[in-house]
């Protein structure tokens, strides 16, 4: 019975993490693995036009994916489980999924924000990892958080209130942006909240993103869409998917923001079976980060072993520049965004342990 419970817990983790980006996988007949050829003037063919020529997507394995580096990351902060200062919420109900902090993000000042929905609050850390404050949540079931350059905090509740809560830099509520409407018929179809300047976007099923309003708290009337999620460099829209999980083949597409033109579609093999993607963003310089949850050598049905392979991709063509590997979470708590990209480069990972969570920093080239 103990073995069955342990295996069940791991399966729950995989389902939760795998859901995070799995629906973005290419479906039969829905995407052709092609790259638009450059147009005559040296630019890229627009997404709104049919390209006059097509080439096969470049397979990074032809040039060789960089060998992974491993090693411990740098621990930024340690927490216990609980509701006081220095603790983060932990819920283990009998008839529902256990929960831990859903998401984390980093603002323009380098401060870390953790969505502690169990305790109905946001926990803020300074750059050194010291807790410097909390902000109460104004939604019932927050799952994702992002901070705008002006300090405005956006919290996504896709299941209960079905809105994006807007909280000013002073910690005071500015209102809520309705989630449902043009481009978003179901709250469960939203897969993340993102900022592009003063615009607030919600991603739909890991594909296009819908503008739901602004950081002032004003809802969007026409709700325009963009082709992907806005990246942290302010210049790119990104999408990604699993092409073939068994062979570890993944794909990333980058779209130039201005003008909206296809930059690249890159396909490459991770080297192990991929069960989920858990990060996709770019740092301030434009380097693209792709997080993959992989099945490790020696893994069996009775004893599955998993890790995270983090890739840094070239901003211009998606070529893998480096990768690092570190252990995946194996506890069963439900989370939404466990990896976030730092503006200066590298990522923060919310690692869960029996005694409490900790925030660990990794770079693509090692710790």
- DSSP per residue, 58-80: EEGGGT-PPPPEE---EEEEE-E
CA–CA distance, 155 with 160 (Å, rounded to integer):
13
In three-state secondary structure terms, 54 is: strand
Q: Which residue has the tokens 């009998």?
A: 94
240 DSSP 8-state letter: E
7 DSSP 8-state letter: H
DSSP H or E stretch at residue 9: helix 2-22
First-to-last C-alpha distance (Å) of the chain: 38
Residue pair 358/104 in contact by the 8 Å Cβ criterion: no
CA Rg value for the chain: 20
> What is the maximal distance between C-alpha atoms in the chain?
66
CA–CA distance, 365 with 324 (Å, rounded to integer):
6
Residue pair 350/101 in contact by the 8 Å Cβ criterion: yes
- What are the phi and psi torsion angles at 335 (to 5°)? -140, 170
53 DSSP 8-state letter: -
Q: Are strands 121-125 and 112-116 parallel, antiparallel or unpaired?
A: antiparallel
Structure tokens at 89: 């919420």
Give just the sign of the alpha carbon dihedral 97, 21, 163, 142: positive
Q: Which residue has the tokens 């049919």?
A: 50
Taking 70 as the pLDDT cut, the residues of the chain under it are 1-64, 366-367
How much is the pLDDT for 69?
81
Domains delineated in the chain: 2-362 (2.120.10.30)
How much is the pLDDT for 14?
42
Does the pTM exceed 0.85? no
Q: How far is CA 333 from CA 74, 105, 330, in A?
A: 23, 19, 9
Angle at 217 between CA 165 and CA 139, to 5 degrees: 15
CA–CA distance, 336 with 59 (Å, rounded to integer):
30
How much is the pLDDT for 9?
44
């Amino acid at each position: 019975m103990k073995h069955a419970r342990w295996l069940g817990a791991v399966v729950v983790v995989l389902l939760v993490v795998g859901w995070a980006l799995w629906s973005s996988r290419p479906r039969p007949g829905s995407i052709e693995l092609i790259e638009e050829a450059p147009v005559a003037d040296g630019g890229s063919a627009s997404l709104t036009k049919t390209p006059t020529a097509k080439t096969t997507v470049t397979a990074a394995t032809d040039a060789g994916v960089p060998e992974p580096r491993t090693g411990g990351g740098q621990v930024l902060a340690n927490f216990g489980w609980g509701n006081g200062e220095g603790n983060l919420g932990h819920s283990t109900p009998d008839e529902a999924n256990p929960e831990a902090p859903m998401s984390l993000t980093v603002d323009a000042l380098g401060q870390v924000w953790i969505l502690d929905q169990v305790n109905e609050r946001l926990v803020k850390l300074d750059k050194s990892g010291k807790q410097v404050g909390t902000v109460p949540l104004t939604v019932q079931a927050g799952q994702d958080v992002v901070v705008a350059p002006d300090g405005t905090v956006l919290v996504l509740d896709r299941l209960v209130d079905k809105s994006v809560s807007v909280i000013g830099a002073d910690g005071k509520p500015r209102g809520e942006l309705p989630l449902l409407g043009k481009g978003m018929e179901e709250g469960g179809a939203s897969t993340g909240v993102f900022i592009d300047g003063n615009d607030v976007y919600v991603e739909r099923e890991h594909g296009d993103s819908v503008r739901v309003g602004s950081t002032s708290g004003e809802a969007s009337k026409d709700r325009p869409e963009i082709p992907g999620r806005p990246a942290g460099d302010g210049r790119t829209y990104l999408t990604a998917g699993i092409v073939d999980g068994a062979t570890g083949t993944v794909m990333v597409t980058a779209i130039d923001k201005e003008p909206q033109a296809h930059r690249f579609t890159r396909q490459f093999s991770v080297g192990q079976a991929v069960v989920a993607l858990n990060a996709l963003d770019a740092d301030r310089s434009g380097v693209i980060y792709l997080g993959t949850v992989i099945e490790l050598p020696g893994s069996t049905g009775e004893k599955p072993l998993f890790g995270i392979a983090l890739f840094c991709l070239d901003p211009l063509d998606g070529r893998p520049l480096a990768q690092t590997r570190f252990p995946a979470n194996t506890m069963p708590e439900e989370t939404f965004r466990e990896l976030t990209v730092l503006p200066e480069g590298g990522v923060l990972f919310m690692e869960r342990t029996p005694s409490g969570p900790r925030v660990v920093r990794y770079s693509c080239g090692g710790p």
